[in-house]
Amino acid sequence: MKKAIIIGAGIAGIASAVRLAVRGYAVEVFEANSFAGGKLSEFVLPAGEFSSQIPFYPSTPQPLNPSTHYRFDAGPSLFTMPEYVEDLFRLAGKKPEVHFEYLALDTICKYFYEDGTILHAYRDTQKFAQEVATQTTEKAETVLKFLRESKRKYDLTNEVFLQNSLHKLRNYFTWATVRGILGMPRLQVFTTMHKANARTFGDQRIVQLFNRYATYNGSNPYETPATLNIIPHLEFGIGAFFPKGGMYQITQSLVRLAENLGVQFHYNTKVQEILIEGKKAVGIKIGKDETHKADIIVSNMDIVGTYKKLLPALPAPKRLLEQPKSSSAIIFYWGIKKAFPALELHNIFFSANYEAEFKHIFQDKNLYEDNTVYINISSKESPTDAPEGCENWFVMINAPNNIGQDWDALIGQARQNIIQKLSRLLKTDIAPLIECEAILDPRSIESRTSSSQGALYGNSSNNKWAAFLRHANFSSRIKGLYFCGGSVHPGGGIPLSLLSAKIACDCIE
Ligand SMILES: Cc1cc2nc3c(=O)[nH]c(=O)nc-3n(C[C@H](O)[C@H](O)[C@H](O)COP(=O)(O)OP(=O)(O)OC[C@H]3O[C@@H](n4cnc5c(N)ncnc54)[C@H](O)[C@@H]3O)c2cc1C
């Protein structure tokens, strides 16, 4: 039986393990943390606990006391493209709905603007377009036309850029690629998302709403090509979902699936080196001298760390590794001792000056005084995530990636600004309602998951050639060495990380 070693139990590492186990490999996953999921993990906080960190392990006290404890998903909160999770169950011959349940959201997001406008982004596009027409000066038909165009862009790019390796010549001789090339003008590669949106919409609030989609892969709408206007189709065309029990269920259900297929997980086990003999990867080294042999190695560690730490003797592809990283984030996890019926599962409180906000994040590498604030409240769908009458707020702002800023000062200032903004817009003093707190910031994102500079999504897509400047899912120099996860092709976010696992495994002969 052939043996595969996976380095890292991030979502792409787990998905690779499932795929290889189904193909008959004996699979072992080595994970530095004491838990699976990497960014896609969870933790629990008791009322009364205030910490500048989040617990480094799932600290679920046994038994969890639902009258005093809050559960938080640590990282991703928005779930799109559930079919990529379901595919893994189907591959293993199991019915996905038996092992992983989720629901489709009718209200994708609720938007709050500084001028008092409130907009519901309904999944039903007619209803959403009508809401826009009622609350703003934009026409319903303009919104519907934009969403139809978003779908066309998605149909042109999905197979070429997302489903297959861009680094295998054979993938360029397909009908999908020809269609993609012929459709280039439609993809608007040479204009920015903001310019395209400002040409489409007359109302600045709607420009801002659709500009926000650049942040779904950590990019800047004022730099990223308008091709990224495919992203709204994912939400409005395909849907936004919520896994029953919270986002961490994605990790847990896939780990269970992998274990059922015989995959062995080794936690608290940091891989030190990938062993190479001749031009072939033959195993890994753990600690000083423990080695494990395998026929293939798949690294789910960030590609920068994979080269710098695990492959020190291999010349690194400098240009690819030095591509600008996506934005990072600061997250305040707050237990709030009050229910807010006016809030939904996903809520955005926009800044009044989006362009200034992004200039601070991407050019000045600091924070603007008025941040766009995202609040995710999983207890809206999963009531046991917070004590009765309370809510678990995941309060996130976009932040620059980590280049050694004075994060403690930035976090302190941001916390004050966010509390003021939310208190004003929700007409309630928020500060006294916070009964427990933990914080995640670019430094801790980097240290918990080895993500280069704490980037949420690997490289940014601010460059129009970004799709071609991500590392391939295989090594062209070392046989038997493959790469998956948000830092390699096709990019970050749960759906693309899952696709990276598929592409890496497809590349294995
Ligand atoms: C705050 C936040 C919010 C986000 N929001 C969303 C969202 O709403 N929707 C969405 O789709 N995506 C979101 N993302 C992005 C998404 O979480 C990531 O793109 C995705 O989870 C990356 O998965 P990955 O497979 O690359 O692994 P990672 O999650 O990066 O995990 C890599 C794993 O490898 C392990 N590892 C690294 N080096 C070693 C080593 N040497 N030895 C052993 N193990 C090692 C790490 O410990 C870690 O567990 C968010 C991310 C964050 C941080």
**Residue reference for tokens 């709408």:** 221
For residue 189, the model assigns a pLDDT of 79
Provide the whole-model pTM. Answer: 0.96
* Each residue's pLDDT tens digit, 88-141: 999 999 999 999 999 999 999 999 999 999 999 999 999 999 999 999 999 999
Tokens of 256: 């269970």
Are the C-beta atoms of residues 203 and 140 closer than 8 Å to each other?
Answer: no
For the cut 80, the answer to whether the pLDDT of residue 180 exceeds it is no
Q: Looking at 24-148, which runs of residues are DSSP E strands?
A: 26-30, 42-46, 69-73, 102-104, 107-112, 118-122
User: Pick from 155, 458, 207: which is nearest to 322 by CA?
Assistant: 458
Q: Is the CB of 8 under 6 A from ligand 1?
A: yes
In this predicted structure, what is the pLDDT of residue 438? 96
User: Is pLDDT of 184 > 90?
Assistant: no
pLDDT average, residue stretch 147-162:
86
Element (H, E) at 310: none
Average confidence score pLDDT of the chain? 93
H/E segment holding residue 147: helix 140-157
CB 237 within 8 A of CB 81: no
Task: Quote the pLDDT of residue 178.
Answer: 65
Does the pLDDT of residue 323 top 80, yes or no?
A: yes
For 357-413, what is each residue's pLDDT tens digit?
A: 999 999 999 999 999 999 999 999 999 999 999 999 999 999 999 999 999 999 999
| Nearest Cα residue to 69 out of 435, 429, 439, 440 | 435
pLDDT, one tens digit per residue, over 388-404 is 999 999 999 999 999 99
Rounded percentage of the chain residues whose pLDDT exceeds 70 = 95
In 226-360, DSSP assigns E strands to 241-243, 264-266, 271-277, 280-286, 290-293, 296-299, 328-336, 346-349
10 in ligand 1 pocket by Cβ < 6 Å?
yes
Range with the lowest mean pLDDT among 12-16, 121-125, 185-189, 291-295? 185-189
Nearest to 9 by CA among 270, 378, 388: 270
Beta pairing, strands 391-399 & 328-336: antiparallel
Best probe residue, ligand 1, of 449, 499, 503 (max atoms within 8 Å of C-beta): 449
pLDDT of 11 higher than 60: yes
CA dist 303 and 323 (Å) reads: 12
What integer pLDDT is reported at residue 62 of this predicted model?
57
* Nearest alpha-carbon partner for 325 in 212, 188, 470: 470
Residue range 37-47: mean pLDDT, rounded: 94
Q: How confident is the model at residue 63 (pLDDT cuts 50, 70, 90)?
A: low
- Cβ neighbour number for residue 188 with a 10 Å cutoff: 20
Of the residues 5, 19, 35, 39, which should be mutated to test ligand 1's pocket, given the most ligand atoms within 8 Å of the CB? 39
CATH tag, 3-40+245-324+457-507: 3.50.50.60
Q: How far is the CA of 445 from the centre of ligand 1 (A)?
A: 9
pLDDT at 31: 97
pLDDT (0 to 100) of residue 84: 97
For residue 57, the model assigns a pLDDT of 61
Retrieve residue 347's tokens: 């809520």
Q: What number does the ligand 1 atom closest to the CA of 77 have?
A: 8
Of 150-159, 165-174, 243-252, 310-319, give the lowest mean pLDDT range. 165-174
**Identity of residue 75:** G
Residue boundaries of the structural domains of the chain: 3-40+245-324+457-507, 41-74+327-453, 128-199+210-235
Q: Please give the average per-residue pLDDT across 48-63, as a whole number.
A: 73
Arithmetic mean of pLDDT, 449-464:
90
Specify whether the CB–CB gap between 336 and 194 falls below 8 A.
Answer: no
Residue type, 391: E
C-alpha atoms less than 13 angstroms from C-alpha of 156 in its C-beta half-sphere: 22
